[in-house]
Amino acid sequence: MVTAAWKEIEKNPGQSVYLLTGSEQYLLQQTTEKIITRMPEVTAEDVLYFDLDEVPVSAVIEEADTLPFFSGRKVIVAKNASFLRAKERGKEKIDHPTDLLAEWLKQPSPTATVIFIAPYEKLDARKKITKQMMASAKVIEANKLTGSDLTVWIQQQAKSLDLTITRETADHLVGTAGENMMQLSKEIEKIAAYMDGAGTITEDVIDLLVPRSPETEIFRLTDAYVSGNRAKTLAVYHDLLRSGEEPIAMASLIAGQVRLMLHVGSLKKKGYHQQQIASTLNVHPYRVKLVMSSRFVPNEQRLLHVLDRLAAVDLKLKTTSGNRERVLELFFLEP
């Protein structure tokens, strides 16, 4: 987990070069803040930001090699280090002198800490610059937390606000608010303010304060549809439309939920229990629990039929210029 890297930052702050990589924006943001705040000699005036989608990396190198004016050290945050991943033809805005960067990395500035942020799930390990960066920088992966790792993180967040929360209640929070860590952090802070910074978080408090995420509502929608409850299906669907959800996105999420039902059913037949299924599918245990506790889960043939129809609906939604809301509604009305 990234929290192990945070402990290392506290013990040994001020590395010359960091590489933060991964797709979880919350963890990227938190890690950047922790690196900066662990250097007491650095003030806000000593922190500079560069967007590598707009300027070449040579500007970062030049700034790093320039002596700081206000203190003995400066911090440079270089976002969107896209030259570390595979090229996307036609999308590169800037021609970065990566050979120059590779040489600089061998002997970086002693008066600057440079934080390169590559907010991507994968980097191109074949590239010379990626290899040099991985060898020279302190690399911290900030990938999305799932399963028990996310539950443990929620417990740690609650503890930092002088609250406690059981694993079961943490799972309930995920089931209600979703797995977006930025949103979960905000909800925990809201709960802490409501509880005046003391006590144990309960499911009743979560149900009172935390709105259901679109993902949670999609589960309710899919569950109602596959169980044949048209009235509930349409009620949840119209609630989602009123909250601003788009039919194309909803169709995709429904398909994902149906696929989850298929996988859970298949693994359950093989004798897997809830935690094993969650680990195998790399999803939070609460999502598996919801599927397994559903009173009506159709057979595999029915779920495959639903997926086939959703593929046709998805194509129609993406090619029609008419009423997309009606397209998905007609899908729900058909048997």
CATH number for the domain that contains residue 106: 3.40.50.300
CATH number of the domain residue 201 falls in:
1.10.8.60
The Cβ of residue 52 has, within 10 Å, a number of other Cβ atoms equal to 22
Asked whether residue 180 falls in the same domain as residue 293, the answer is no
Co-location of 42 and 153 in the same domain: no
Identify the sign of the CA torsion 106, 85, 98, 140: negative
pLDDT in the model for residue 212? 86
pLDDT band at 88 (very low <50, low <70, confident <90, very high): low
Q: What is the pLDDT of residue 89?
A: 60
Using one digit for the tens of pLDDT, what is the confidence trace for 113-144? 999 999 998 899 999 999 999 999 999 998 88
Residue 107: other Cβ atoms inside 10 A: 9
**Residue 62: what residue type?**
E
Of 176, 192, 209, at which residue does a domain stop? 209
Exposed e or buried b per residue across 200-211, where buried means at least 16 C-beta atoms within 10 angstroms of its C-beta: ebeeebbeebbe
Q: Treating both helix axes as pointing N-terminal to C-terminal, what angle do 167-177 and 147-160 enclose, rounded to 10 degrees?
A: 100
Last residue of a domain, one of 111, 141, 171: 141
Q: How confident is the model at residue 1 (pLDDT cuts 50, 70, 90)?
A: low
- 205 band by pLDDT with thresholds 50, 70 and 90: very high
Question: pLDDT tens digit string along 28-78?
Answer: 999 999 999 888 888 888 899 999 999 999 999 999 999 887 778 899 999
Q: Are residues 220 and 205 in the same domain?
A: no
- What's the maximum distance between 2 C-alpha atoms anywhere in the chain? 71
Q: Are residues 20 and 92 in the same domain?
A: yes
Is-contact 130 124, C-beta < 8 A?
yes
Shared-domain flag, residues 151 and 132: no
Residues 194, 209 contacting (CB under 8 angstroms)? yes
What is the Rg, in whole angstroms, of the alpha carbon atoms belonging to the chain? 24
Does residue 224 share a domain with residue 318?
yes
In the chain, the number of structural domains is 3
Task: Single out the residue in 141, 170, 187 at which a domain terminates.
Answer: 141
114 and 20 co-located in one domain: yes
My answer on whether 53 and 103 are in the same domain is yes
What value does the mean pLDDT take over residues 255-277?
A: 90
**Are the C-beta atoms of residues 251 and 283 closer than 8 Å to each other?**
no
Query: Both 279 and 203 in a single domain?
Result: no
Query: Are 158 and 134 within one domain?
Result: no
User: Residue 117: its pLDDT value, please?
Assistant: 96
In the chain, the amino acid numbered 52 is L
Cα angle 144, 186, 224; round to 5: 70
**Pair 12, 134 in one domain:** yes
C-beta neighbour count of 31 within 10 angstroms: 23
Residues 162 and 229 in one domain: no
The chain-wide mean pLDDT, for the chain, equals 89
What's the distance, CA 331 to chain centroid? Answer: 30
CATH of the domain at 277: 1.20.272.10
The tokens for 38 are: 């662990």
By residue range, what is the domain housing residue 251? 214-333
